[in-house]
Each structure stands twice: as structure tokens, then as C-alpha cells.
A and B are shown apart, each in its own frame.
Chain A
């Protein structure tokens, strides 16, 4: 056994001794129901003896808001999770779920630990700059996680699945009282459902409903019109990730978003989800629109943390001046675009999808104003000033 495993187990034991068993607080007869008489008894005990005040408060919460019973949800990993008391301390290891929590109006002061990537996003997550860092899903700091004594830890459901599975298994062994919950927070096919489940889980039903309507409205305004475009009439799109000549294929989130916006991904049928592309193949398939995703690797600029127009100009020139690209319709027609992952890869994909729809079909989607939608999202759902994006660049040309 490695030394850090011993530390984790010891921390887990310490936490267990100070925490509660998997039972409803105040449920003295163990019938899985906080009854009125039980709540009265635990309130009187807390007031008279000063004992178990947190148990009494949790029992009052469960009695009032959960109809006296445990809460059961099925997360995006497909597992049923039973919640026996409201969360007071949570660790969030994926920023997409954290962003969604903010959209739902969740009290983020209860977030006691975040991953290192969230800590780097000073502009977008200013309230977490001094929150404890717990590493990342690829290099989790277990000792830190356990020492924060969280009630719940949030992980990805399907992204980096093996890493997250391992984290869940390790926590289950060392700290079984910690509830692990798994959500992706960025996939269009599951995001609507995740909003609903998270709203229920975090008791944010009112704002959750409002945000769900906002999200659906902004997605549907594109997908309902794009769905009517026949396959043969769809714009041919070459989508490139931040690695040159690396594209996306069927099964990937990017391919799905291209289709939602009415495009036809020229590499959709490649066997790999993120295939390496032969440069000649791009010329052969003659895309009408080219989209380059930026925000990572050699293209780590733009988005919420930096407004570097020169870098965008250079990247755009570098792309259009590739060998043979002057012959491409997309280049000749000036239909090459840079799109930042901040508004396509995460929960803000509905903004990126709107931009793509406008680029694919300027006339059909002339009424869309993704920049205004972006500002509304920041101010209404993220608690940020819409001016936070002044001077920042998310798409190019603007």
C-alpha cells in the first residue's frame, strides 16, 4: 500500500467519524421517512441541548422540501443516486457542471473545491479564484478532496470515463459517505435532461425551468429550421480542431453540432471520432465553409481570458494560405471562420451553433443575433456583467 493511500484512508475514517450514516437525519424509527413527530423531537433536542443542530436543520429541510423522504435521481452515468440530506459542501471536478449550476441559480458558496482548469478561468469564474484546487480528473488530489469533507463530488459522466470511474471507485472505498454524481454538461443530446436532473437534485426548480426554456428556445430556433434542409442541399463543412488537420466525425459532439446548424460534415463518415485528415482529402472534398476551433494547443488565445485580435488575424491568414487552399470555394468566398471552444465545446454550445448556422446560411438565419444571446446568457444566468465580453473575441472575423 502506498503512503498516500494510507493518508486517504485515514482521512476517510476521520471524515466518517464526524459525518453521518446513509440515513435520513431525524428518522428515528428508520422507516425512510422524516415524520412530523420525529422532526419535532429533533428540533426540541437541538434547541434544548444544543446538540445535532445540523441534523435538525437537515431534517426540517427534508420534511419541508423533499416531502420527508430521501431524494433519488439518475445521473448521466445511468446510476441511481440516493441523497439522504441536502448538500452543504460540494466539490466540482468539471467546469461544465459548475457553469450549469450557476445557470440554475445554485448557491455556489457551497462549492468548496474545483478543478485546476476552473481556477485558471479568472474572468469567467471570478468567484472561485480562492477556492481550493483539487487537481484534475486526470491527476486528482485525493487527500485534498477528502480533507474538504464534501457531501458530494461531481465528475464527468462519459468524458474521460476511465479516469472518472477510477475517481468514483477510489472515493467509494475511502469515503463512502461522499455522494458521487456524474454529468457531462456540454452534449446537446443530453444537456436538456441534465438541466432537469440537476435542477431537481439541487432544488433549483424555478430557475432551472426558466433556464431550460431559454436553452431550448435558442437551440430550437436553429434546429427546427435546419432540420428542413435536405441532405443534398446542405453546406459542405470542413471542421478542424485546434490541432491542424484533425477533424471530427459521426459520434463526436462537434459533428452533431454541425448537423444541428444545418451543415454537412465532409469527414462525418471517418471511422475515428476525431480523425487525422490527409490534407489532400480536404482539397478533394471541396468544403464550402471552413471552421477552425481555437482555444487550446497552438491556438490558446481568445475566449474569456484574452482578446488578442492579432493572434486571430495570424491564425486566419495561416489557415487560408495553406498549400492549395486558394482553390477551395470556402477560401475564395471568404467563408473561413475561427470559433472559440468557450462557445461551442461546453454548456454555451447553443451560442456556437447559432454562429455556425449564420455562417452556413446567412439568409435563412439572418434574424439570429448570437452575440446578443451570449450577453443575455452571461447577465441572466451566469451573474456576470454582459460587458465582461467587451474586448474579448470568440469568433473571427467578427
Chain B
């Protein structure tokens, strides 16, 4: 294996392992983690006591499965997944696609108690294989970008993981020279 391929492969894996999080408007958070075989688990974390209708929209070709809610609490219609959240603190589901496909998820939420309608942070996978969270304001904010007041809070384990991966990459590079 060439050195460049090795580095790129390991980097992709490490980036995918990192949990990508974003604090959304309305305090709904989205995380996306790899689940193997071009499958990803999408996790929505919700404030306590949330009663909401959530609509998730996907590109064609994506398969949605393993939804954590009871069967009566969701509907899949083509490229749209509708969720009825009734007090759950977390909802998750799997998305599967053809290897190499890029994809994007967008979501909206209607709070059934306040009537407030809001966008959720979106998520997309770039052609390079990185997962990006798209804040509700519409500006894409990739993982690890310099933060400002709207930036993503990086959890300690994410930082540790990133530093660890840098160390491994450096070690591999030294070995291949």
C-alpha cells in the first residue's frame, strides 16, 4: 500500500469515528456516527419533555431503517421520515447507501406544545468522506473548523481522539519513510 493511500484511509476512518455534534436551534442536537458498510446512525437528542413532530429529508437512494421509536410513532414516505416524539430524550435511526455516495440530511421540527417551527441542524457527507454538520442558519460548519460564538463544542473524547489519530498518522508516516 502506498503511503498516501494508507494515510488517506486511516484519516477517513478516524474522522468517521469522531462523533459529530451540533447544538441546534431549539436545543435539538444531531449526531452522526458510522455503523459500518456505508451505514450511519443518526441520533437526535432532544430536551426533556419534548413533544414534537420532526421531518427528516434525504436524497433518493438512501435506505432508512432501525428507527428507535415504536412503529406507530414514525412514517417513511419516499425520501422523508416523519417522527412523532413524545417525551423521548433521544431518537436514532440508521441510514444506508451505496458505497461512495455523498448524502445530505435536513430536518425541521414543530414543537407541539409551543407551536414553534424550527430547522434542525442538517448533516452531510462530503465526497472526501467527512461528515459535516450544517447549522440551522444554513452555513456549513465542518468538524474542527475554528470556532466562533456559533461554533460546535468539541467534547473531550473528540479532542483526545483527534490528537491520538494525529499521533498514529505521524508514527505511520515516519515508518513509511
Contact = CB atoms under 8 A, between A and B. Distances in A.
A binds B: yes
Interface residues of B, number: 19
Nearest to A42: B84
A8 interface: no
B113 A44 contact: no
B153 interface: no
Contacts of A47: 53-55, 82, 84, 110
Interface in A138-176: none
A40 B52 CA distance: 10
Nearest to A43: B84
A41 interface: yes
A110 to B, nearest CB: 13
Contacts of B86: 36, 39-40, 43, 60, 63
A61 interface: yes
B72 A41 contact: yes
B29 to A, nearest CB: 20
The main secondary structure of chain B at its interface with chain A is strand
Nearest to B73: A40
A34 B77 CA distance: 26
B105 to A, nearest CB: 17
Nearest to A37: B72
A347 B55 CA distance: 48
A41 B72 CA distance: 7
A44 B75 contact: yes
A131 interface: no
Nearest to A36: B86
Contacts of A43: 51-53, 84, 86, 112
- Name the interface size band of chain A: 10 to 19
Contact of B113 (A37, A40, A48, A61): A61
Interface in A13-55: 36-37, 39-41, 43-44, 46-48, 53
B113 A60 contact: yes
Interface in B46-88: 49, 51-55, 70, 72-75, 77, 82, 84, 86
B115 interface: yes
B51 A44 contact: no
17 contacts: A39-B51, A39-B84, A40-B70, A40-B86, A43-B84, A43-B112, A44-B74, A44-B84, A46-B53, A47-B53, A47-B82, A47-B84, A53-B110, A57-B112, A60-B86, A61-B113, A64-B113
Given A47-B84, A47-B110, 14 more contacts: A37-B70, A43-B51, A43-B52, A43-B112, A44-B73, A44-B74, A44-B75, A44-B84, A48-B75, A53-B110, A57-B112, A60-B86, A60-B113, A64-B51
